[in-house]
A and B are shown apart, each in its own frame.
Chain A
Amino acid sequence: MDPVIWFFLLGVLAGVMRSDLRMPKAVYELLSMLLLLTIGLKGGVELAQQPIGRLVPQVLAVASIGLIVPLVVFAAIRALSSVERADAASLAAHYGSVSVATYAVGVSFLATRGVPFDGQLPLFLVILEVPAIMVGIVLAKGLSAGSNWGAVAHEVFLGKSIVLLLGGLVIGALTGPEGIEPLEPLFFDLFKGVLALFLLEMGLIAAGQAGALRRRAVLVIVTGLVTPVPAATLGIAIGHLIGLNLGGMTLLGVLAGSASYIAAPAAIRIAVPDANPSLSLSASLGITFPFNIFIGVPLYFEIARWLSGAGAGA
């Protein structure tokens, strides 16, 4: 098991046993900034060496994941349960959008095995973050809801994750591999250590979210466990179609199978106030995030390996 995962377990244990362990908010903010910038910079450096023309169809294919996943999740939840429209739409937005921490665990997993991945993945991360949130809002409110689109757009596009990821991408692309060298000790060499500390806090938060699970526990657990694998498989298949390598397919699967817990909750809280925020958050943080880092990531790697092997054999 990847050593960083142990830190998540430690956080969960400390949270469940009500330890006084608590990460200062400013430290958590700094760690998440470092992770976002690292992911952006790494992608920017590699993206600079690729032809832009090849990217356009890939970006469109990836964006389609952000439309398909929330629509299917919404339809399935509405068909199979008695959940209100707003709550189903909120879950759809969370599951269509992505989790940066899960992606980082995927990157760490591939690094441990020495598997390279395509440079455009961080760009895909940015692309997948937004559309599902918009789909969720439209599912809940309709197009002409008179809802506060300005505030929502501000929340979605100028949220710190998009700003730092895109900023990192651009800085990385402008400076290139040599220019970035002086920054490597902070951003690249410390990546696993930063991720370990971040996951410690995630463990504490996840323990709190799972503990808050009371109403609709069955729905939350079932949604949290059933959604990731089919969504990830769709991501891996699309990764295969657009010609990503094994690492790239795995990470696109990780992205598609992950659920947002930063961008989506904030935007949905503003745009769909009648949705119960703890429902989506306990599903995405309390159930899906742990599922993905323990079972999902290695499983998606195996699916991607099987699919790329099958493709090569045919």
Chain B
Amino acid sequence: MDTTHKKLLTIITEAVLEPRLIDLVREMGATGYTVTEARGSGSRGVRSAGWMHNGNVRLEVICTDEVAVKITEHLRAHFYADYAMVSFVIDVGVLRADKF
């Protein structure tokens, strides 16, 4: 199988941030994204998604190394201090490199 190396950036954060983060990853050069609803628990307590404002979202972006670095640095500078947010980057292989 002939795959190309890309990064999968995953951001798990408060649902209220979804529109801003979508704008952000677009501006930083990501060509697409996937959002799913999420719930869980961490240093900011249980985020149960029991109702609208207590929910989390999981935003996934497949992008180049540079874009992944740009986005994570922006997140660290602007969101980590005040919002419940976890993000991580893993290596993935994609089949259609031109798509990302």
Contact = CB atoms under 8 A, between A and B. Distances in A.
Contact of B16 (A29, A270, A281): A270
A5 to B, nearest CB: 20
B16 A266 contact: yes
A269 B16 contact: yes
Interface string B34-58: 0000000000010011111100000
Interface residue tally on B, bucketed by range: 10 to 19
Contacts, number: 35
Interface stretch (A66-74, A131-139, A204-212, A291-299): A204-212
B16 A22 contact: no
Nearest to A281: B53
Given A212-B45, A274-B82, A269 B19 contact: no
Interface string A23-54: 00100110000000000000000000000000
Contact of B14 (A208, A269, A278): A269
A93 to B, nearest CB: 14
Contacts of A269: 14, 16, 53
A191 to B, nearest CB: 22
A204 B53 contact: no
A273 interface: yes
Interface of B: 14, 16-17, 19-20, 45, 48-53, 81-83
Interface of A: 22, 25, 28-29, 148, 151, 201, 204-205, 208, 212, 262, 265-266, 269-270, 273-274, 277-278, 281
